[in-house]
């Protein structure tokens, strides 16, 4: 649990931190073309997947750490992969199966998602995109709240793992944390896998 001071309003707000975090991510994206392969290897060797068959992986947008090397590794290890679907403002994400031949369509914000013909699935592990992270498991997201709502819902229903997936250079010493912000269980980067809780 984060200390109470972390929940107090920050005079700068999250916007300034998001702008800085985007710059960090874009720079890391330019400098580290092989980071996604290293992160995928760290995920496969460190994240406890025994008994966890279905893994939700985000469709990468912009400078987000690419997830396709991870998808390939997961499928080679016999895991079911699913991708998120945005169902509207203030609603949690749902997930549909992805197997490499799945028909895709542009969803909200132009992010590709499996077509409605793809079977729905409920993940055991959720790979979460982020702008910034702290080693205590706090995550700075884009501000839409989609993953916070989704993780809150899933955690009420089952024992899931939330794994932040990012460049190591996205680590930040400070950003505001609010009570509704869902913490991560792990953070995986191209350098390491950090177990939080």
The tens digit of pLDDT for each residue in 107-155 reads: 888 899 999 999 999 999 999 999 999 999 999 999 889 999 999 999 9
**Cβ atoms of residues 129 and 64 within 8 Å:** yes
Confidence at residue 80, expressed as pLDDT on a 0 to 100 scale: 97
- 102 band by pLDDT with thresholds 50, 70 and 90: very high
Q: What is the pLDDT of residues 26-78, one digit of tens each?
A: 999 999 999 999 999 999 999 999 999 999 999 999 999 999 999 999 999 99
Nearest Cα to Cα of residue 64 among 39, 89, 86, 91: 39
How crowded is the C-beta side of 170, counted as CA atoms within 13 Å? 33
Confidence at residue 12, expressed as pLDDT on a 0 to 100 scale: 60
Please check the confidence at residue 5 and state whether its pLDDT lies above 50.
no
């Amino acid at each position: 649990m984060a200390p109470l001071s972390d929940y107090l309003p920050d005079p700068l707000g999250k916007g300034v931190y998001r702008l800085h975090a985007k710059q960090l991510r874009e720079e890391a994206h330019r400098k580290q073309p092989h980071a996604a392969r290293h992160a995928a290897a760290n995920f496969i060797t460190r994240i406890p997947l025994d008994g966890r068959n279905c893994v939700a992986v985000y469709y990468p947008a912009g400078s987000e750490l690419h997830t396709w090397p991870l998808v390939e590794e997961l499928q080679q290890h016999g895991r079911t992969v699913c991708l998120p679907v945005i169902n509207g403002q203030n609603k949690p994400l749902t997930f549909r199966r992805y197997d490499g031949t799945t028909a895709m369509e542009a969803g909200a914000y132009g992010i590709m998602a499996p077509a409605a013909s793809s079977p729905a699935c409920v993940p055991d592990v959720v790979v979460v995109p982020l702008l910034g992270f702290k080693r205590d498991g706090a995550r700075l997201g884009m501000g839409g709240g989609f993953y916070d709502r989704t993780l809150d819902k899933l955690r009420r229903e089952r024992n899931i793992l939330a794994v932040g997936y990012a460049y190591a250079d996205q680590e930040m010493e400070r950003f505001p944390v609010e009570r509704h912000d869902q913490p991560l269980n792990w953070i995986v980067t191209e350098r390491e896998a950090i177990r939080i809780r």
